[in-house]
Amino acid sequence: MTLASICRVLGKIWLGLGGTVVAVGTVATWYFQGWRAYQDLVSPFNLFNYIAVVIAYVNGPSSCESTTDPRSAATPSLTRRRSTPRRLGRPCAPLASARW
């Protein structure tokens, strides 16, 4: 098992747990505090809620997909030869998936 596949599995687990926490928190707000508190929570003017959701989802599987394409290293290019293999997905950078 490679490091990339371990990171992908951990990222998917992180997204699942984050989505569960956000959904349970939203339902609990509606259940315990009522419809008005739920409307305040999902209001488009509630900036703190959106920041919390972005922080919960920032380390998802697409934020660190840096696997190499196995075909690029094995198949020579007819036009010019690459010195490094092509990369799939986004580069691993902090907050790479939180760009607006």
Question: What are the sequence ranges of the domains in the chain?
Answer: 3-98
> pLDDT tens-digit profile of 35-68?
999 998 888 888 988 888 888 888 766 545 554 5
Which two tokens mark 17? Answer: 């747990």
78 has pLDDT over 70: no
| Alpha-carbon torsion angle 18, 24, 27, 31, nearest 10 | -150
Under 8 Å between Cβ of 26 and 50: no
Query: How confident is the model at residue 82, as a pLDDT?
Result: 54
Q: What is the value of pTM for the model shown?
A: 0.52
The pLDDT of 66-90, averaged and rounded, is 52
Range from 10-14, 46-50, 84-88 carrying the lowest mean pLDDT: 84-88
